Structure 1
């Protein structure tokens, strides 16, 4: 049945070409979009490329599919997705039109608009009965896949996994190995971003058990490559030459560019090369439109903050943080780390509370929270058996190595020292040979309590206020102040506050931070 339909469509195209009837050619393409896209992609692009501009103006759907459209959208001529609203079409073609609106909005850098069209498409899928969708070889898997992809770039990883899983199953039932494999690659990206590393590995294995992708879907293979790299990086793997070479030479595409930037930056940070992580983020931001409140903006914000923090440039990290008006979970994690590094434990606690939101719940967030809470309790001198147990459990999880490696060395040493002997032996074995960053502890060798007093001096004028804010006795605060002044080489609160401003400032001129 499908082969007969394909033959009829190809014959109709030949008839239109032989008669030099461009309007007939346009109508045949318009009415058979899915068949041509799925089974004759190169023929589809060739037919659209043959159409003159005046014909494309009448068939805005075909203009959206023209090979030049995404290239122009990425530079200076965004495609007006709303121009497709009034196109007359069957319900099946209307589905494809909404998919095009999702795509063209994404090409324009309007990921919020893309997510809005995804909601429209999702409502059509679930509320509108279209008989053609139930047929073998239908485009239903593509519809679910388009919704899931838009949700992923909007930052809704849970919704993305749900829709992409449905798309994969529908593609399998429909007999589309192209559909199943292309969806599995994106599903693996969503899963590894959530920290569901074992699920991502299963998705990648299932994808590679399928036949290679054909021309229309070949670019989707890059999603598999990037997901595989991110899986390796979650385990702290940076020493495999072939993987590293793949990472350094990946070219960003319309869908995967922010994941490429994330993979490159994570590799450079794990390798102790923060300058190169910043450069990877800047190149990505300068060549793509980003939009606040979306996944790419969240990725870039975290890269900037963590890279500047690793360089000891806390002021530059703070400026990068201020650019983002709607931080997502990746940026909030970085903001919590920045607050902890500066000794602002109250701000860190607020970020940690925000990160605990149910809406952001995922294995990756849980790993980040364990590391952040460990840092906080060590900084507050409130380490207990439960915090030690949680950190020990995370350290022995092979899929959480990258999160563990973000914890400062002095924090790791303090939490390990607080563990029972049997637990400490297991953790020591797990972290043997690992290198942890030197963050949040100045060369002045201040204790955790002295750092807390140091950070609170500017906002609490009296000893009694400091004692109340830090839950310490006034005498304890006086002891910490005496030791703090001695180590700083100052004799007054005013001089200590001035010294704090010098220590957290970044004297270097900062390049422009390109986020949002």
Structure 2
């Protein structure tokens, strides 16, 4: 950005503009000095731009990004146009700052793909800087790296996110910015927690919270990030205080950048406690409040959590519909697809889906889940191998994997325990003590004699009138009986009902 004018620093210039009462002058000064004002005079910046007329703010796109109503702008019928920021190249803005604003604006509009594109351009730009250019105390380089990492995190690219947060933290340490170090350490803690590297998450969180609360521009984001990381850690370890940690999280419709991870925490917590309906509510409230696009962490997590929740409720067909509705299958969804195959008592398909996942794709949490699903698959075949039983016991030894065990039937845990040597069984049992393990998989619904008759009629006839004639009842009675049958089978159509009946061996022999 251009050098400060002789008449005073950014704060003084903004104060003079505010005293003038001229909205255009206020907006011009705020725009020209956006970084120093944001970084060191955030309350004064907000106080100056919040009362500005909408038309004035609309003519200054950079002010839309920092305005308190920015989330409302992003969700409006006229979302933020990042191309409008190109104008600042003509007035001396640094290229890196423009790219960062375009990246943030794309994220706010829900376009994580575009944000990744700007992130790549920004990384390339930052690489052109000299290797020994030591940043000044007010240099925004850490902020650029922090925002690049946040973009990768929202895209589900956790390894890349950790790299950028690490760089942001190192820059913060060099320039002596506690704001930078705490902000970056907190986001790193959240990233580790999402990955299931719980011990690493706790260390990063401890580093962050040991520092002073960041300045006004960063405090809310830092606290929201840290609380979400803490909740995910407590959920993973199934700590008694997890209820309190989840209660401290932002609302599901929050406009904060952490919203996908708040959804993930709340839904995971509900599933671990056996409240699948609450998990579905959390997912619905989050996704209806935000622009969720394919290829993002939010989309992948929402699909996987929906599948898992429907399966926990015995709604296998609803789980399959959730899978089929997803246009892009991330690793969370692909792992949930293995779970779906197991609920459908299809170990061959489960094995094929598991084989398609490579170790390099899986985070520690996903690796643990895939291992437990493999034990489930082998238990369906009648036996769990010694090697897999020992791997499962090793998982149980890590407290960070406790939640993962709540997602498998108790019969799987029993099968693993029976395969372990006598000397290892007591320790395995003790480590899982108190966990709400899942019910036996794929319960077979109990149909009444009349519902069996309706099922047979459903096979032989294409409409309710023919079914009513065959059964000797009215079409309204058939409608009521079909509703009861579909509910027990977790179906919404004839095809789904027959598929469920075949999977559960409820069809008459020879059908």
Q: Contact conserved, 1:314 with 1:504, CA < 8 A, in 2?
A: no
CA 1:6–1:440: 2 relative to 1, 3 Å: farther
Q: Is 1:420 equivalent to 2:421 in the alignment?
A: yes
Q: Alpha-carbon deviation of 1:24? A: 4.4
CA 1:56–1:166: 2 relative to 1, 3 Å: same
- Please state whether the residue corresponding to 1:383 is helix, strand or coil: coil
Partners in 2 of 1:44 and 1:6 — Cα distance? 19
CA 1:3–1:334: 2 relative to 1, 3 Å: same
Q: Is 1:321 equivalent to 2:323 in the alignment?
A: yes
State the Cα deviation string for residues 175-205 of structure 1 (Å, max 9, x = none).
Answer: 2212221222211111111111111101111
- Please state whether the residue corresponding to 1:134 is helix, strand or coil: coil
Q: Which of 328, 336, 339 is matched with 1:337 structurally?
A: 339
Q: For residue 185 of structure 1, what is the aligned residue in structure 2?
A: 186
Q: How does 1:73-112 map to 2 (within 5 A)?
A: 73-88=74-89, 93-112=94-113
Q: Contact conserved, 2:383 with 2:415, CA < 8 A, in 1?
A: no
More contact order relative to length (CA 8 Å, sep ≥ 6): 1
- Please state whether the residue corresponding to 1:88 is helix, strand or coil: helix
Q: How does 1:45-444 map to 2 (within 5 A)?
A: 45-49=46-50, 51-53=52-54, 55-88=56-89, 93-129=94-130, 134-220=135-221, 221-238=223-240, 242-247=244-249, 252-358=254-360, 360-443=361-444
Partners in 2 of 1:24 and 1:74 — Cα distance? 28
Partners in 2 of 1:5 and 1:195 — Cα distance? 52
CA 1:67–1:439: 2 relative to 1, 3 Å: same
- Please state whether the residue corresponding to 1:375 is helix, strand or coil: helix
- Please state whether the residue corresponding to 1:325 is helix, strand or coil: coil
Q: Alpha-carbon deviation of 1:406? A: 1.2
Q: Alpha-carbon deviation of 1:113? A: 1.2
Partners in 2 of 1:33 and 1:375 — Cα distance? 56
Partners in 2 of 1:160 and 1:242 — Cα distance? 28
CA 1:52–1:433: 2 relative to 1, 3 Å: closer
| Structure 1 residues without counterparts, runs of 5 or longer | 446-496, 506-516
CA 1:37–1:444: 2 relative to 1, 3 Å: closer
Partners in 2 of 1:286 and 1:88 — Cα distance? 36
State the Cα deviation string for residues 439-484 of structure 1 (Å, max 9, x = none).
Answer: 4343599xxxxxxxxxxxxxxxxxxxxxxxxxxxxxxxxxxxxxxx
Q: Contact conserved, 2:89 with 2:98, CA < 8 A, in 1?
A: no
Partners in 1 of 2:258 and 2:7 — Cα distance? 31
Q: Contact conserved, 1:26 with 1:55, CA < 8 A, in 2?
A: yes
Q: Is 1:39 equivalent to 2:40 in the alignment?
A: yes
CA 1:23–1:253: 2 relative to 1, 3 Å: closer
- Please state whether the residue corresponding to 1:215 is helix, strand or coil: coil
**Bigger mean CA offset, 10-19 vs 108-117:** 10-19
Q: Contact conserved, 2:111 with 2:293, CA < 8 A, in 1?
A: yes
Q: Contact conserved, 2:228 with 2:262, CA < 8 A, in 1?
A: yes
Q: Contact conserved, 1:355 with 1:365, CA < 8 A, in 2?
A: no
**Bigger mean CA offset, 240-249 vs 222-231:** 240-249
Partners in 2 of 1:13 and 1:157 — Cα distance? 39
Q: For residue 490 of structure 2, what is the aligned residue in structure 1?
A: none
Q: Alpha-carbon deviation of 1:76? A: 2.4
Q: Alpha-carbon deviation of 1:228? A: 0.2
- Please state whether the residue corresponding to 2:439 is helix, strand or coil: coil
Q: Contact conserved, 1:226 with 1:259, CA < 8 A, in 2?
A: yes
Q: Alpha-carbon deviation of 1:265? A: 0.7
Q: Alpha-carbon deviation of 1:134? A: 1.8
**Bigger mean CA offset, 12-21 vs 271-280:** 12-21
Q: Contact conserved, 2:4 with 2:10, CA < 8 A, in 1?
A: no
Q: Is 1:10 equivalent to 2:30 in the alignment?
A: no
Equivalent pairs counted in the alignment come to 452
- Please state whether the residue corresponding to 1:212 is helix, strand or coil: coil
State the Cα deviation string for residues 139-173 of structure 1 (Å, max 9, x = none).
Answer: 11100000000000011000001101111121122
Q: For residue 488 of structure 1, what is the aligned residue in structure 2?
A: none
Q: For residue 495 of structure 2, what is the aligned residue in structure 1?
A: none
Partners in 1 of 2:420 and 2:7 — Cα distance? 68
Q: Contact conserved, 1:342 with 1:440, CA < 8 A, in 2?
A: no
Partners in 2 of 1:423 and 1:68 — Cα distance? 58
State the Cα deviation string for residues 398-427 of structure 1 (Å, max 9, x = none).
Answer: 111111221211111112111211122221
Partners in 1 of 2:347 and 2:100 — Cα distance? 46
Relative to the length of structure 1, the TM-score reads 0.81
State the Cα deviation string for residues 105-159 of structure 1 (Å, max 9, x = none).
Answer: 1111111111111111111111245999721221111000000000000110000
Q: Alpha-carbon deviation of 1:392? A: 0.9
CA 1:4–1:30: 2 relative to 1, 3 Å: closer
| Structure 2 residues without counterparts, runs of 5 or longer | 447-497, 507-511
CA 1:393–1:18: 2 relative to 1, 3 Å: closer
